[in-house]
């Protein structure tokens, strides 16, 4: 949706990203594009899914996590990796359009802070 009028508002939001069956080099390219477009400088936090069937082994997964760190370290935003949503096996439903908080200091995950929808 980047570069189109369909891109949702991302400024001051928590961005949710996940994919399935993509090779790590393709995921890396996607993160590079997001970085180059300044997406990470606009968001307040990032929640990443499990990326099912994207890695052939644990080493590929760890290398990908290091690449994510490479892209995000300069932005100093909270990041949760491996949250089971989207195409996950044990899917967690994430309510959209409400206020939430990412608590990475106490490893609490996403905390819903308001019941009302914006």
DSSP, residue by residue, 50-103: --TT--SSHHHHHHHHHHHHHHHTTT---EEE----SS-SSPPP---SS-EEEE
Determine the structural domain holding residue 22 and report its residue range. 14-93
Q: What is the pLDDT of residue 13?
A: 93
> Is 107 part of a structural domain of the chain?
no
The pLDDT of residue 117 is above 50: no
Q: Is the pLDDT of residue 28 over 90?
A: yes
Evaluate whether residue 5 is within a structural domain: no
How large is the average pLDDT for residues 92-112? 74
- 72 or 3, which is more confident: 72
CATH for 20: 3.50.30.60
Average pLDDT over residues 5-24: 93
Q: Is 83 part of any domain?
A: yes
Q: Does 116 reside within a domain? A: no
**Does a structural domain hold residue 60?**
yes
Cβ atoms < 10 Å from Cβ of 110: 20
Total domains, the chain: 1
Report yes or no on 118 lying in a domain.
no
pLDDT band at 118 (very low <50, low <70, confident <90, very high): very low
């Amino acid at each position: 949706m980047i570069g189109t009028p369909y891109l949702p508002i991302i400024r001051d939001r928590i961005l949710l990203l996940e994919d399935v069956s993509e090779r790590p080099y393709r995921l890396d390219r996607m993160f590079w594009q997001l970085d180059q477009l300044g997406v990470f400088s606009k968001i307040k936090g990032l929640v990443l899914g499990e990326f099912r069937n994207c890695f052939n082994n644990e080493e590929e997964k760890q290398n990908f996590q290091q690449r994510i760190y490479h892209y995000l370290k300069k932005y100093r935003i909270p990041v949760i990796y491996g949250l089971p949503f989207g195409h996950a096996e044990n899917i967690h439903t994430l309510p959209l359009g409400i206020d939430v908080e990412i608590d990475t200091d106490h490893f609490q995950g996403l905390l819903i802070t308001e019941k009302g929808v914006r």
